[in-house]
Amino acid sequence: MSMKLFLRVLLFLPLISLSQNDKSNQIPIDILLDSINNQIIYQTNTSIHRIDISSLKTISSIKIKHPSPSDYKITLNKNELLFLEKRGGDISILNSNDSLKKKDNSNIVNFFIGTNRFVRKDTIFKHGGYGYWTLSNFLTYFEDLSNEWQIYPISASTSIPPGVINHTGFYTNDSYYFFGGNSMNETGTRTITKENDGVWRFNFNTKKWKFLGTLLRNSSIKTLATFKKKSNILLLDDQKILYEIDILKNTLIKYKLAPILYGFIRGIKPIYFRNFVYFVDESKNVNKVAISEITKEPIIVSKFYDTQNITEKIMLASGFIILLIVLLFIAKRYANSKTLKLLDNGVRYKNKFIELDNLSISIIKMVEPQDIELSKVYNLVKKDHLSKIQNERIKNQYIDQINLQLSVLTGIKEAFLIVSKSNFDKRYKIIRLNRAVYGNLL
């Protein structure tokens, strides 16, 4: 009996070796969670492998005869394995001959390049993508009754997001979120080089898009792979650094590099399930790691996006400028109300006004800029038919009258105009404003 067992093992070993060689030569395409059967469905360029979620052992393998599965991405809907064409709208199923059979009735070719797909309430959705020299900015869904793709209706009063390609999108709390990727340059050469820095949300209840904000500089991550953990999204960048985004709380967490992340291969979305992350490693095998092992050391916590867009910032800045102008105007009005304002027919101070004749106003205008010789005031008011003594009296009356009226107007007892001897020649007199008292009112 032992010899027979030994011979069976020898016969079986080449088969095992051949199976492993065939699998190692395959190109990984995608992995998918089958939570009902506790399996990971592993898609390669030739086959579909079902792997036990606990032991990570291969349960079954099916080599697809026709066409090549490398042109498709797999998804589960109502526990049915579907093959979604990457570039178009074809949906296929695996028939009894291990070949892909077209299920849908649509004829959409090369219109869903770089699209994002998700499942909501047993309905497959796609968002964005490129085709026929344009980018899509709308949601499409697969309708089971017609077996065709339809455009999902939105509110007439909604905002409209830009068309995007190769973006990050996910569905949670009956809303769809997306950010990143690229959009179209609308001027010059129509190339897809413009980075999309907006964060958008579509609410399925209101059927409205809403612009949430602009990605901050530290949030622009060159994404290697993404996966969802409950309502959060985790991103692995090209340096194998892991980030966690809480879109609802607008936070971005950067974690310290975990060495096992070097084993994650590019382009295959990992899967989070029951505190483990499942991924395809560099040996092209499905592997797993505890989520706590790769998220145990957060090093940076910051905002993910700025909630004010450019238009809001411009409006805010404009409002601030207008408010500043109004405040300056009010301040100027207030300051002017506390100064002496010389008018053509008198002087205003606060809410009071005194009327002055032309000669009094001329005297004030002469003295206001600088000290002058008293004789200039005399020459201004003198009357040729009167004597010098009489003209001196008129001159002094004008000065006294101005001082009296300014004192009544301002409530200040000190003289507004002061007559004194010149500092240069004591034989001459000058007249000047009492700047020590009235200087702050001028």
CATH code of the domain covering residue 173: 2.120.10.80
3-class secondary-structure state, position 317:
helix
Q: CB of 93 within 8 A of CB of 81?
A: yes
Q: Is residue 32 part of a domain?
A: yes
Cα–Cα dist 40/57, whole Å: 10
One domain, residues 257 and 384: no
Lowest mean pLDDT segment, chosen from 24-38, 242-256, 258-272, 402-416: 402-416
The pLDDT of residue 333 is above 70: no
Looking at residue 132, its amino acid is Y
Q: What share of the chain is helix, strand, coil (3-state, %, to 5)?
A: 25, 35, 35
Averaged over 422-442, what is the pLDDT?
Answer: 82
**pTM of the complete model:** 0.67
The pLDDT of residue 8 is above 70: no
The pLDDT of residue 348 is above 90: no
Phi-psi region of 338 (alpha: psi -120 to 50; beta: other; left: phi over 0): alpha
pLDDT at residue 18, rounded to an integer? 37
Cα–Cα dist 57/423, whole Å: 110
What is the strand order of the sheet 123-127 is part of? 116-120, 123-127, 139-143, 148-151
Q: Is residue 60 part of a domain?
A: yes
One domain, residues 192 and 143: yes
Averaged over 172-193, what is the pLDDT?
Answer: 81
Q: Is residue 235 part of a domain?
A: yes
Domain termination site, one of 279, 313, 347: 313
Q: Is residue 57 part of a domain?
A: yes
CA 365 from chain centre, in angstroms, equals 59
The two most distant CA atoms of the chain are separated, in Å, by: 157
The pLDDT of residue 20 is above 80: no
Averaged over 20-29, what is the pLDDT?
Answer: 73
Q: Is residue 329 part of a domain?
A: no
Eight-class DSSP state of 249: T
The pLDDT of residue 81 is above 90: yes
One domain, residues 52 and 161: yes
What's the total number of domains in the chain?
A: 2
Could you tell me the pLDDT band of residue 71, with boundaries at 50, 70 and 90? Answer: very high
Tokens of 143: 């309708």
If one compares 139 and 441, the residue with the highest pLDDT of the two is 139
> What CATH number is given to the structural domain containing 393?
1.10.10
One domain, residues 125 and 255: yes
Q: Is residue 319 part of a domain?
A: no
The pLDDT of residue 312 is above 70: no
3-class secondary-structure state, position 159:
coil
Per residue in 85-121, pLDDT (tens digit) is: 999 999 999 999 999 999 999 888 888 999 999 999 9
pLDDT at residue 7, rounded to an integer? 44
3-class secondary-structure state, position 97:
coil
Share of the chain above pLDDT 70, in %: 89
Eight-class DSSP state of 85: E
One domain, residues 253 and 395: no
Domain termination site, one of 251, 279, 313: 313
Averaged over 285-307, what is the pLDDT?
Answer: 94
Q: What CA–CA distances, in Å, run from 340 to 161, 358, 433? A: 59, 17, 13
CA 305 from chain centre, in angstroms, equals 5
The pLDDT of residue 60 is above 90: yes
The pLDDT of residue 14 is above 50: no
Q: CB of 401 within 8 A of CB of 409?
A: no
- In the chain, the N- to C-terminal Cα span, in Å, equals 122
What is the span of the domain harbouring residue 423?
338-441
Burial (Cβ within 10 Å: 0-12, 13-18, ≥19) of residue 181: buried
Share of the chain above pLDDT 90, in %: 55
**Treating both helix axes as pointing N-terminal to C-terminal, what angle do 358-367 and 374-381 enclose, rounded to 10 degrees?**
160
One domain, residues 344 and 308: no
Residue closest to 294 by CA, chosen among 340, 227, 358, 343: 227
Could you tell me the pLDDT band of residue 159, with boundaries at 50, 70 and 90? Answer: very high
Averaged over 149-171, what is the pLDDT?
Answer: 95
One domain, residues 401 and 279: no
pLDDT at residue 336, rounded to an integer? 55
Cα–Cα dist 340/353, whole Å: 10
Averaged over 254-278, what is the pLDDT?
Answer: 94
Burial (Cβ within 10 Å: 0-12, 13-18, ≥19) of residue 371: middle
pLDDT at residue 142, rounded to an integer? 96
Average pLDDT score, the chain: 87
One domain, residues 381 and 293: no
Residue closest to 27 by CA, chosen among 3, 45, 49, 9: 45
Residue closest to 382 by CA, chosen among 371, 398, 364: 398
Averaged over 178-190, what is the pLDDT?
Answer: 78
Domain termination site, one of 247, 278, 313: 313
Could you tell me the pLDDT band of residue 288, with boundaries at 50, 70 and 90? Answer: very high
- Cβ neighbours of 112 (radius 10 Å): 26
pLDDT at residue 317, rounded to an integer? 74
Report the run of H or E that residue 21 belongs to, with start and end. helix 2-24
pLDDT at residue 72, rounded to an integer? 94
Phi-psi region of 364 (alpha: psi -120 to 50; beta: other; left: phi over 0): alpha
Lowest mean pLDDT segment, chosen from 123-137, 322-336, 350-364, 422-436: 322-336
**Backbone angles phi and psi of 9, in degrees to 5:** -65, -45
pLDDT at residue 411, rounded to an integer? 87
One domain, residues 290 and 433: no
Per residue in 212-224, pLDDT (tens digit) is: 999 987 667 788 8
One domain, residues 239 and 344: no
Asked, as a colleague might, if the bond just before 67 is cis with ω within 30 of 0, I would say yes
One domain, residues 209 and 247: yes
pLDDT at residue 335, rounded to an integer? 54
Residue closest to 294 by CA, chosen among 249, 236, 221: 236
Cα–Cα dist 52/116, whole Å: 27
Lowest mean pLDDT segment, chosen from 52-66, 289-303, 323-337, 397-411: 323-337
Could you tell me the pLDDT band of residue 134, with boundaries at 50, 70 and 90? Answer: confident
Residue environment code for 401-439, b if the CB has 16+ CB neighbours within 10 A, otherwise e: ebbebbeebbeeeebbbbeeeeeeeeeeebbebeeeebe
Cα–Cα dist 417/395, whole Å: 12
Q: Is residue 13 part of a domain?
A: no
One domain, residues 81 and 216: yes
